[in-house]
Chain A
């Protein structure tokens, strides 16, 4: 591509050069030729006029004395002038007196059209110039003279000039071509060299190259600024590379820090769950042992206290379990797969039905609802949402739990709906807080971590979760992933 414009520039230069030279020469030649055209013609006509006058004067005697042979001899002298085609003398009444013909074919006017009193009439006929003049003797018309001359001299001169001009023109054009080649070398080579360097840099991305070599003064500024620009690019490039390296180092550092923090958290929650559970086991176990072994000597109130102790330990066990799950959810690697949520809903509800066979729950599950997400985490979310639906409809005689998807603002939103206890929408803000509950533990058991876990899962998938409900009119939980 660069080649194209550089050579068209040189072609333009050559053409321009030739054009200028040719125009100058043509104008000059035209001027000279025109000048010669005019002056030669004038000279010719002048010559003719003089010839006519001289001849007229010489022929006066012959005309006056009617000496025709003498007149013919005088006219015959015209043979010395090669341009004269024909000449004739007329008597004052216009009748031909004497004639001269260069060749036999030449003709002369009959003389009938000669008007009296004509003086030096010039006209062109048949590529020749004609002259008619009156001859006077002592103030009285003695006759007329007619000379016809060809323009050969004229044309020959023109031809000569033209051929000389052509030679000069040709020579000058050759010189012009030669000089434009030189010009091309002088001007275009540095430009082409510059273009070549640019191409090399663009191809190899090597910003260390510079344009150099001889450059004429006008291009020095261009080459210098070009090199300056390259130097800047090189600097910026290396600065960019350094910044990138720095960033990489920092990312590595952060990743290492993050990995370390994660590992710490993991071992922390792992050991916490174990170390917290062991004492719980003891509390529960020995309370039960007391009840079993010494229950007879205990009154109802004492037995009641032990039951409270055991219930409390069970609650704490569930809490630890849920906390662990929450931590696990936050840590887990997120896999993205196609998950059939409908099938999952079926499984979860079937398990809930198995664990509490006495309940009659109508399950309405939309089929073929799919999502892209981590199957294990989505299972946990579904367990929690459907488990909640199951739990909060347990006080009603009949229950209806729905699962499906709707379209909202062009994206798919999944929902779990129940017609159970619902909640007061005024407290909706607390729904997803960890350990926050909107129902007392005597109404419904729970740790308050379930929805926080679901929210964590949904957020990790980049989705949102929200709920709508009324007290005793059920609740609907919407989420996207």
Chain B
């Protein structure tokens, strides 16, 4: 696992291809050049994190620097993904930023209750979205210090 910022992987869990494209664009606009792995639903995201299924050959010691999690996902919703991530000792301490359109109180409460690190609302206006992504990137990728990964197991 490399230590330079550019090596850090961002896991984007997003089902909407338009939103995916726009998010990647926003990241690029902000000169955030990290590799972005996109999971289209909750199951895929978990497969990636736990090195199962299509990602069975992934190195389990390499974990994403940041997980951007949408809530409205098909099959398994964002909360379930979050629950599983927090339940597993290998992924328990990974920073998860919920990135969603919902501003409902109960979603915010549920998100923090399940252990999300941050809750960001996706604005409709794209300029604002770029602005938000810039701040997210600056903070989570540059300023914030992650917990070290647990060795072994």
Which of B25, B72, B102, B122 contacts A289 (CB under 8 A)? B25
Given A281-B18, A286-B22, A274 and B124 touching (CB < 8 A)? no
Query: In the complex, A186 Cα to B74 Cα: how many Å?
Result: 91
- Asked if A317 contacts B125 (CB within 8 A), the reply is yes
- Nearest B residue to A280 via CB reads B124
Residues of A contacting B129 in the complex (Cβ-Cβ under 8 angstroms): 281, 285
B18 / chain A contacts, CB cutoff of 8 Å: 278-279, 281-282, 285-286
In the complex, the chain A residue whose C-beta lies closest to that of B107 is: A270
B17's closest neighbor in chain A, by CB?
A282
Is there a chain A Cβ closer than 8 Å to B16's Cβ?
yes
Q: Is the CB of B104 within 8 A of A281?
A: no
Q: Are B124 and A277 in contact (CB under 8 A)?
A: yes
Chain B's closest residue to A376 (CB) is B105
Show 22 residue pairs from A and B whose CB-CB distance is below 8 angstroms, ordered by the A residue: A273-B102, A274-B72, A274-B102, A277-B101, A278-B16, A278-B18, A278-B101, A279-B18, A281-B122, A284-B124, A284-B126, A285-B18, A285-B126, A285-B129, A286-B18, A286-B22, A287-B126, A288-B126, A289-B126, A313-B125, A314-B125, A317-B125
Residues of A within 8 A of B122 (CB): 281
Residue of B nearest to A284 (CB): B126
| Docked-complex contact B102 and A282, CB < 8 angstroms | no
Interface centre among B21, B124, B129 (most CB of A within 10 A): B124
- Nearest-neighbour CB distance to chain B for A44, whole angstroms, equals 124
Seen from chain A, the residues whose Cβ lies within 8 Å of a Cβ on chain B are 270, 273-274, 277-282, 284-289, 310, 313-314, 316-317
Check A285–B25 contact: CB distance below 8 A.
yes
| Given A270-B104, A280-B124: A285 in contact with B22 (beta carbons within 8 A) | yes
Chain B residue nearest to A318 (CB atoms) is B124
B19 touches A (CB below 8 Å) = yes
Q: List the A side residues contacting B104 at CB < 8 Å.
A: 270
For A284, list chain B residues within 8 Å (CB). Answer: 124-126
> A281 and B126: CB pair below 8 A?
yes
Interface residues in B18-38 by Cβ distance below 8 A to A read 18-19, 21-22, 25
